[in-house]
Amino acid sequence: MRITRGLAAALALFVGSFALHIVGGATDQRWLFAIAVGLIYLTATGFPAIALVSSGLRRNSQGGKLVLGIGAIAGVGFTVGALWAANGREFAWWVFVLAPALVLFTSASLLALRRFAGRPAKAIATSCWPTGPKSRPRRS
């Protein structure tokens, strides 16, 4: 159930962004269209992370891995479609190379942001770079 909820929530965000894009284009509101296109790319490339966070599952759990796998496949598909549309509705070799890279980078970035959200800067720095007596260089 949590797997379905996560994937459905990510899909709803993507579809909502796409609907906003249609409304912006139909009403000739360029600012709305531009925001919607940005949201389309964010929800397409971040699809696995959005689905995982929405599901409430842990990344390393069996369900979490399933959500990430299905989300990655969907995210790459949606990103290929967005890049295809941006390229004048023509496929190019770089679309198929760039799409998985964008999904990986954006989803990893979103998950990292979520991991560090609400933590003070000092806590983030100490979790990334060890400090304290054990991290000092040894004296000869």
Please tell me the number of Cα atoms within 13 Å of 89 on its side-chain side: 0
In the three-class reduction of DSSP (H, G, I as helix; E, B as strand; rest coil), residue 58 is classed as coil
Residues near 10 by beta carbon (within 8 Å), at least 6 away in sequence:
43, 47, 48, 50, 51, 54, 71, 74
d(CA 34, CA 22): 11
pLDDT for 114: 87
d(CA 69, CA 86): 26
Let me know how long the chain is: 140
d(CA 137, CA 86): 51
pLDDT for 53: 94
pLDDT for 116: 81
Could you list the pLDDT tens digit for every one of the 140 residues in the chain? 899 999 999 999 999 999 999 999 999 999 999 999 999 999 999 999 999 999 999 999 999 999 999 999 999 999 999 999 999 999 999 999 999 999 999 999 999 998 887 666 565 556 655 555 555 555 55
